[in-house]
Amino acid sequence: MATLQDIRQDDSLWWRVLVFLFDLRHFKENVDSQSRLERIVDASYLGQPYFTDDEVSMLKSTVLPAGNTLADTLRAVTHYRVCAAHDLAPVFEKAFEVKEKDLARNERFIELLNEQSLNVPPDWRSIFKPVNKCGSKPKPGKRKPR
């Protein structure tokens, strides 16, 4: 059984997981997302073109931080009616600990996605490095003059 950390360490697989999550949220407004999702035949939405059969098995058996597997989580959710891909988006985002806004607001991720699709871009992980946009932290005990 794999862990979420194992999945995240595989550059190719984790890139495709992120593309998959983005596509689930944006299939209505993004033609490429729609095209990729429409090729999936599995009801869980895990499959080609995103993942091989072996990867699907590994993903479904992944032990999530809550202690259950992704397959267990999907079974619990599918007891309710799943109408479309967007119904599963929050389930997968929570399971893979990815915030929807982190992908949707990352302009460089979207550029790479548009350029590379499911092909893994070189050095793509650098686009997710935290950036200090506010400047340096003030030193303790020092206040800015008014």
Torsions phi, psi for 5 (to 5 deg): -65, -40
Confidence (pLDDT) at 1: 80
In 3D, which of 88, 95, 87 has the Cα closest to residue 62?
A: 95
Tens of pLDDT, residues 92-127:
999 999 998 999 999 999 999 999 999 999 989 888
SS3 labels along the chain = CCEHHHHHHCHHHHHHHHHHHHHHHHCCCCHHHHHHHHCCCCCCCCCCCCCCHHHHHHHHCCECCCCCEHHHHHHHHHCCCCCCHHHHHHHHHHHHCCCHHHHHCCHHHHHHHHHHCCCCCCCHHHHHCCCCCCCCCCCCCCCCCC
Largest CA distance in the chain: 63
Confidence (pLDDT) at 77: 75
Q: Per-residue pLDDT averaged across 66-74, rounded?
A: 88
Confidence (pLDDT) at 49: 96
Which band of pLDDT confidence, cut at 50, 70 and 90, is reported for residue 80?
low
Tens of pLDDT, residues 126-146:
888 765 555 555 566 666 666
Q: Per-residue pLDDT averaged across 82-98, rounded?
A: 81
